[in-house]
Amino acid sequence: MNQQVTKICRDFIPELNEAIGSQSPETIFILTDDNTQRLCLPGVLQSEKLAGSHVINIPSGDEHKTIDSAVRIWQYLSDHKATRKSLMINVGGGMITDIGGFAASTFKRGIRYINVSTSLLGAVDAATGGKTGINFAGLKNEIGVFSPASDVLINIDFFRTLDDSNLRSGYAEMVKHALIDTRKEWDEILKFDLENINFDELRELVDRSIRIKERVVEQDPFEANIRKALNLGHTFGHAFESHSYKVNRPVLHGYAVMWGLLCELYLSHAKLNFPKDDLLKLKYMIKNYYGSFYIDCNDYDGLLELMTHDKKNESAEINFTLLSDIGEIHINQTATKEEIFECFDFFSGC
What is the CATH number for 39? 3.40.50.1970
User: What's 170's domain CATH number?
Assistant: 1.20.1090.10
Single residue among 161, 178, 200 that ends a domain in this structure: 161
Which of residues 126, 161, 196 is at a domain's end? Answer: 161
| Neighbouring C-alpha atoms within 13 Å toward the C-beta of 88 | 35
Same domain, 16 and 87: yes
Domain end among 131, 161, 191 = 161
Q: Are residues 342 and 211 in the same domain?
A: yes
pLDDT in tens, the chain (350 residues): 555 778 999 999 999 999 999 999 999 999 999 999 999 999 999 999 999 999 999 999 989 999 999 999 999 999 999 999 999 999 999 999 999 999 999 999 999 999 999 999 999 987 888 899 999 998 888 999 999 999 999 999 999 999 999 999 999 999 999 999 999 999 999 999 999 999 999 999 999 999 999 999 999 988 889 999 999 999 999 999 999 999 999 999 999 999 999 999 999 999 999 999 999 999 999 999 999 999 999 999 999 999 998 766 666 789 999 999 999 999 999 999 999 999 999 999 86
Same domain as 257, residue 204: yes
Please count the structural domains in the chain.
2
The answer to whether residues 274 and 322 touch, using CB atoms and an 8 Å cutoff, is yes
Whether residue 332 sits in one domain with residue 249 = yes
Alpha-helix residue ranges (DSSP H) falling in 3-114: 12-21, 34-39, 41-44, 67-79, 94-106
What pTM was computed for the model? 0.89
Selection from 313, 187, 335 nearest residue 268 by Cα = 335
What is the domain extent for residue 16?
A: 5-161
List, in sequence order, every residue forming a beta bridge with 236; answer none if it has no partner.
Answer: none
Query: Do 157 and 186 reside in the same domain of the chain?
Result: no
- Do 184 and 308 belong together in one domain? yes
Say if residue 50 is in the same domain as residue 36: yes
- CB–CB of 53/113 below 8 Å? no
Kindly list the distances between the CA atom of residue 288 and the CA atoms of 168, 193, 259, 281, in Å, as whole numbers in the listed order. Answer: 11, 12, 13, 11
